Amino acid sequence: MRLFASLRPVLGAVLATALVAQVQATNRALPEFTALVAQNGPTVVNISTKQSQNLTRSFQGYPIPDLPEDSPLQDFFRHFFGDQGDSGEAPEDDEQGRSLGSGFIVSADGYVLTNAHVVEGAEEIIVRTSDRREFVATPVGADKRSDIALLKVDATDLPTARIGSAKDLLVGEWVLAIGSPFGFEHSATAGIVSAKGRNLPSENYVPFIQTDVAINPGNSGGPLFNLDGEVIGVNSQIYSRTGGFMGLSFAIPIDVAMDVVEQIKTKGRVSRGWLGVLIQDVTRDLAPTFGLSQPRGALVAQVLPDSPAATAGVNVGDVILSYNGKDVPTSSALPPLVGTTPVGESAHLDVLRQGAMVALEVKIAELPEDDGAADDPDGKGAEPAASDFNRLGMVVIELRPEQREQLGIAQGGALVERVKEGPAAQAGLIAGDVILMLDNQTIDDVAGLNRILESLEPGRSISVLIQRGEGRMFYAVRVPKP
């Protein structure tokens, strides 16, 4: 007992030292954002616009639904959003609406970067700085594909954001957003980088940065900073089922944004590289049918006529594994690489073709303005050539001349008229699809398709290239066993 009593002060000192060390270690592990916000907050601006709304009520650009007067949600919308307008205030004119967003100053002489959707259709754009000054902004240019817009205000000696790069950004790295969520100006939220190179359905040419930073309506167009106080992204989109933050936020890499800004300044428009192929991912089921031990690369489902790819000799069924020496792990990795290649320059492709590596040189052209697909054909009215289903569970017939003209298929192919429960249906084929290739062999007609089918070994997984509307896609179908 005496020994313990004599050691008590020593043990207390040791425990206190350990506790202090633990607190210090915890403090070192967590980032300090106060200096970053104080230094960079003045470079962030609030953007409000007036635009024609056709009498539709909205908040921060998001439409407020028309509800019955006795609906319990009416009180909710009145309490938080007011009766009309994006800012919760009645607009000056019933046919005018207000939209709020964010932006940041990229040059001291008044250039401001924001999202294209923030200022789209605006009749007037107001930029408000952190010191409460207001400027009427002039749009310099906008690019819908990247969702970037450049504005100009008549001012000098403005505080400017430091532009960094997203190329060396790491998943798990801390990042900070400053913006005006729901109109609350200069709000700061922090989080980490969740993923890089995300490909969203709305845009294939932007490798988005995914974060868990709280981003809400009004944050759009605001900057995403790293811990060095450099802008590494432009907050653009959220994934949400409620209209609010759900942990999935997407930012445009600043490298992409500044390339757009430079093109707008120098050329007044934005051009992107174009290869001229429609591609898809190589799935686990498709990989062995193309001689791959694991899924990787971009599978060419269609080569557009008179395109750079067609001129260079790219074939349907090629798997693009690298572009200019850079690996293409998935199909989503290819469009940003092509898009950033200067128009007129040559690019090197390494493709896997029927189990062998092929090197191709392609001269990149400019991405056309309109590269949308045409309407789907109905495929109705044809009489079946046979009443029996083939071994994949389909009835296939010849294409009529008017169908070929509508689909743009000059020769070959076989039209799927019926699909029953079986391998084809399980793989995703439907009536109206046109089978162009089977087991990497071109289909000339129905008879040719049947010959290939009869020669297939039961139990194998084969690739089937179909055209559905104007789009083409490979499917993996397993040949049934007897």
Reduce the DSSP state of residue 383 to 3 states and report it.
coil
What's the chain's length in residues? 482
Q: In 3D, which of 168, 174, 171, 169 has the Cα closest to residue 29?
A: 174
Q: In 3D, which of 116, 119, 99 has the Cα closest to residue 57?
A: 99
Neighbouring C-beta atoms of residue 389, cutoff 10 Å? 15
CA pair distance 171, 191, nearest whole angstrom: 11
Neighbouring C-beta atoms of residue 163, cutoff 10 Å? 17
Task: Give DSSP secondary structure letters for 74-108.
Answer: HHHHHHHH-SSSTTSS--SSTTEEEEEEEEEE-ST
Chain centroid to Cα 122, Å, comes to 25
Catalytic residue among 87, 117, 236, 463: 117
Catalytic residue among 48, 99, 194, 220: 220
Catalytic residue among 86, 147, 318, 433: 147
Q: Which residues of 310-340 are buried (b: 16+ CB within 10 A; e: fewer)?
A: bebebebbbbbbbbeeeebbbbbbbbbbbbe
Sign of CA dihedral 283, 286, 288, 290: negative
Question: Hey, what are 472's tokens?
Answer: 């083409």
Q: Which residues of 402-434 are buried (b: 16+ CB within 10 A; e: fewer)?
A: ebbebbeeeebbbbbbebeebbbeebebeebbb
Neighbouring C-beta atoms of residue 198, cutoff 10 Å? 16
Q: Is 147 a catalytic residue?
A: yes
Q: Are 252 and 208 in contact (CB under 8 A)?
A: yes
Question: Hey, what are 95's tokens?
Answer: 């046919």
CA pair distance 55, 62, nearest whole angstrom: 13
CA pair distance 320, 308, nearest whole angstrom: 15
Q: In 3D, which of 434, 452, 300 has the Cα closest to residue 362?
A: 300
180 strand-pairing partners: none
95 strand-pairing partners: none
How many Å is the maximal CA-CA distance in the chain? 106
Q: Is 117 a catalytic residue?
A: yes
Q: What residues contact residue 216 under an 8 Å CB cut-off, 6+ apart?
A: 181, 182, 238, 244, 245
CA pair distance 398, 395, nearest whole angstrom: 11
Q: What are phi and psi of 372, to 5 degrees?
A: -80, 170
Catalytic residues, by residue number, are 117, 147, 220
